[in-house]
């Protein structure tokens, strides 16, 4: 049986923040399980800051079907967690089942990767207090208000958590997360 890795999404999850890690998990031979508020198709978005702009422009992107609703997730069945960015975390952070799931991964010290606005979910779960992490600079306050230390770097590892700023950092922090998953899975067959 393949180790399962949980990847929460919602409408307006950032496509590159989401699809790249799903494919990396599958490439490593693990089962990428996409969870969401309900089991249905979700609308991913593309975020970029065009030259000369001060803010992010959002456009439609791919659609992705979730495999399971948050309420049906038993986190004991999963070896790792990937928290994607985009605008989805703005409302997903209010889902009590997702917060329960997130806390489990930190309490069990399982590998967790977080990118961009995904920090909003981790902050709402109160799991980043006293930790160092990267995120998009406009989410620096989310880290600091939650008792964490913002680091403007493409890969920041703090214990069982690794983080990156945006999808531009995927090749750096996701590689570290893959190493963490391999080590965890080898130690917990």
pLDDT in tens, 78-87: 999 999 999 9
Region of residue 81 (left: phi > 0; alpha: psi -120 to 50; beta: else): beta
Show which residues are catalytic. Answer: 117
pLDDT given for residue 75 in this prediction: 98
Split at pLDDT 50, 70, 90, the class of 56 is confident
**Residue 56, Cβ neighbours under 10 Å: how many?**
18
| pLDDT in the model for residue 51 | 92
- With a cut of 90, say whether residue 55 has pLDDT above it: no
For residue 58, name the pLDDT band (cuts at 50, 70, 90). confident
Q: What is the mean pLDDT of the chain?
A: 97
* Per-residue pLDDT at 151 exceeds 90: yes
Alpha-carbon distance of 160 to 183, in angstroms, equals 11
Q: Which fold has domain 4-187?
A: Rossmann fold (3.40.50)
Average pLDDT (59-80) is 96
Mean pLDDT for the stretch of residues 31-39? 98
114 touches 53 (CB < 8 A): no
């Amino acid at each position: 049986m393949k180790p399962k890795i949980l990847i929460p999404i919602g409408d307006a999850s950032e496509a590159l923040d989401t699809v790249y890690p799903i494919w990396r998990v599958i490439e490593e031979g693990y089962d990428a399980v996409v969870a969401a508020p309900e089991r249905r198709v979700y609308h991913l978005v593309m975020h970029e800051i065009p030259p000369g702009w001060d803010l992010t422009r959002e456009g439609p992107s791919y659609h992705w079907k979730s495999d399971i609703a948050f309420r049906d997730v038993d986190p004991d069945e999963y070896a790792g967690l990937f928290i994607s960015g985009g605008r989805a975390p703005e409302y997903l952070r209010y889902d009590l089942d997702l917060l329960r799931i997130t806390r489990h991964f930190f309490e069990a010290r399982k590998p967790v990767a977080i990118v961009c606005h995904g920090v909003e979910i981790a902050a709402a779960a109160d799991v980043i207090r006293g930790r160092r992490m990267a995120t998009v600079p406009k989410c620096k306050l989310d880290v600091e208000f939650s008792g964490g230390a913002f680091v403007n770097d493409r890969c920041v590892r703090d214990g069982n958590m690794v983080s990156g700023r945006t999808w531009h950092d995927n090749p750096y922090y996701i590689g570290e997360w893959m190493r963490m998953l391999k080590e965890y899975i080898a130690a917990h067959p």
